[in-house]
Structure 1
Amino acid sequence: MSDVYLNGEFIDGNLAKISVFDQGFLYGDGIFESFRSVDKKLYQFSSHYQRLLQSAEALSYPVAFTQQQLEDILLELCERNGWNNAYYRITITRGKGQIGFQRDMDNDLTCLIVGREFLGLDDRYYRQGIEVKVAQTRRNAPEAISPKIKSISNLNSLLGKLEAKATGAFEVIMLNNKDHICEGSASNIFWTRDQWVFTPAASTGLLEGVTRATIMRLCEEKLNLRVIAGEFKLQDLQFSDEVFITSTSLEVIPVVKVDGFIINQGQVGPIARRLREELHLDMGTGS
């Protein structure tokens, strides 16, 4: 078992312990953020850190470390475990408390950072593309739960992921309560038509992924493609040339089938392939 970071200490993961009264365990009162390091250098770290602060502010969590301090912790974890390319997750909860909603909300926070060597997916997913299904589970309405909070209380996404597993699909497309395309259970979605790239707008209730923002920038800067963010219906995908999903861990995966509808005659298109190459160049890993 690799070392982890728990409440100010590096410790063997087998020895790490969190109270059964932790408010994250009891109530899902917690936030998380994921990071990647490439050749022991953190990628897009500032954007991920700012999103962590955004989530913390929404739940009135004081963040006990600066961006530089968190970077030092992550890289120390990388060194201790002998990783070169790594994937990390930081989880912060309200800490040990009491049961019942009439409870003190000012506990000492729990902070856990875990990681693993990042090996990536089998290359066949990028060469052959994937199938996605349209989930019956809808995205939480942004008026109910702000999508700006990256919460560990993530049952909505889990239900979507379970639907994907039940149907043998790699991922699902989740709609919002207005029937607009929103995002995947753990990814953002894009599609192309001619020289235009489309993606759902933040107003649909999606989590604005850091990789999503990077892909939007690369489309315009490197591929000279205009990106349009808006509110779209499922039928818009049927007229697309390419569909692909993005995330920190998935990078850019082409989609060749949506609910049985074939995209681009089942062939992986050039834009998804090129964007992944440009993303690797942006990371400093080459093509």
Structure 2
Amino acid sequence: MEGFISVNGQISSPEDAQIPVLDRGFLFGDNIFEVFVAFGNTVLDLKPHLDRLRRSAEMHRIPIPWSDEELSFEIQSLIETTNHPKKYIRLVITRGEGIALYQPEEPSPNKVIFCLPARQESEEILSKGIKLKRRQANFVERGATAKTGNYIRSITALEQAKQEGFDDVLWTNGDQELTEATTSNIFLIGREGDLIEIATPPANSGLLLGITRSRIIDLLTNAKIPVTERVISTDEIARFDEGFLCSTVRGLVPIQQIDKHRLHSTRTNAVFKHIQRLFSTWVATEVGYRVNWNTGEKVEDI
């Protein structure tokens, strides 16, 4: 496998990297993490990701003894070493080592940073859109959640959804409010005459407030395009005719279908395409050139 992994500053190939077998992240999922994307040597939204990492650490009382400057330097060093146009960076902080569930002694955290070639989306999903299967998540808590390594429920639900012919899961809470997909936030777009609504579920429905989600809201707001954070109930799905998922690595992915409801997110005059162009322009400004999001390759200079 291409790329590198740093374990407490020790850089290795993915095949040679090792963590202690008593690491609590491995034993209990006792960790927090952030995922970044880099084009060339530029990491998008580095500071917002590090800010969210520290919020997650505070929520779960996991100490982070490294400064943002130290973490940024190590990330930058890894991406400059990895020769790939689009890079996936995953920063994991575990509470340290310990076999007991409760750890009374002062923790000594472990730090693992992955820098690998980013996975590409399938051409079919990019051209036609993604298919989502609703699942109720009885474990959802109200309010913004922390980014931790506990994904077993999502993995199981995703496996079942794929067996039913879907690409991803769209979670709802116990009150039948939409929350998020397995690793992405959702925006839905509806038309009523000449009026267009762009809506995304709020933190109080129970979801991770994605960095790309926040970036999209800021871009739309600055362009004076109305966007609403509001409760979206399952019985409203039929009134929306476009939608997209967004995440740090996937970027913006059009939605083709939610359960049996078809959306038209990839049609020629879709609002989604205007939002996608707005986002692509911001990325080009940050990176210094226009990129093919899926491959990371330069399309043209700006």
Unaligned runs of 5+ in 2: 292-302
Task: Tell me the CA shift for residue 192 of structure 1.
Answer: 1.2
Distance of 1:50 and 1:252 partners within structure 2: 22
- Confirm or deny: 8 A CA contact 2:264 2:270 kept in the other structure: no
Length-normalised TM-score, structure 2: 0.86
Matches within 5 A, 1:1-287: 1=1, 2-97=3-98, 99-118=99-118, 120-135=120-135, 137-138=136-137, 140-142=139-141, 147-194=144-191, 195-222=196-223, 224-264=224-264, 267=267, 270-284=270-284, 285-286=289-290
Task: Tell me the CA shift for residue 163 of structure 1.
Answer: 2.8
Residue deviations 1:95-132, cap 9 Å, x none?
A: 111x2334435231111111212363234422211211
- Is the alpha carbon distance of 1:192 and 1:141 closer, same or farther for their aligned partners in structure 2, counting shifts above 3 Å? same
- Confirm or deny: 8 A CA contact 2:265 2:271 kept in the other structure: no
Higher mean C-alpha deviation, range 269-278 or range 81-90: 269-278
Length-normalised TM-score, structure 1: 0.90
- Confirm or deny: 8 A CA contact 1:220 1:226 kept in the other structure: yes
Distance of 1:70 and 1:246 partners within structure 2: 25
Percent identity at matched positions?
Answer: 24
Task: Tell me the CA shift for residue 189 of structure 1.
Answer: 0.9
Task: Tell me the CA shift for residue 268 of structure 1.
Answer: 6.9
Distance of 1:8 and 1:35 partners within structure 2: 18
Task: Tell me the CA shift for residue 258 of structure 1.
Answer: 1.2
- Confirm or deny: 8 A CA contact 1:40 1:85 kept in the other structure: no
- Confirm or deny: 8 A CA contact 1:54 1:148 kept in the other structure: no
Q: What is the letter of the counterpart of residue 108 of structure 1? A: S
Distance of 1:275 and 1:86 partners within structure 2: 23
Higher mean C-alpha deviation, range 121-130 or range 241-250: 121-130
Unaligned runs of 5+ in 1: none
- Aligned CA-pair RMSD: 2.1
- Is the alpha carbon distance of 1:265 and 1:200 closer, same or farther for their aligned partners in structure 2, counting shifts above 3 Å? closer
Distance of 1:202 and 1:239 partners within structure 2: 22
- Confirm or deny: 8 A CA contact 1:94 1:105 kept in the other structure: no
Report the number of matched residues.
Answer: 282
SS of the equivalent of 1:189 reads strand
Distance of 2:95 and 2:268 partners within structure 1: 45
Distance of 1:11 and 1:264 partners within structure 2: 45
Q: What is the letter of the counterpart of residue 201 of structure 2? A: P
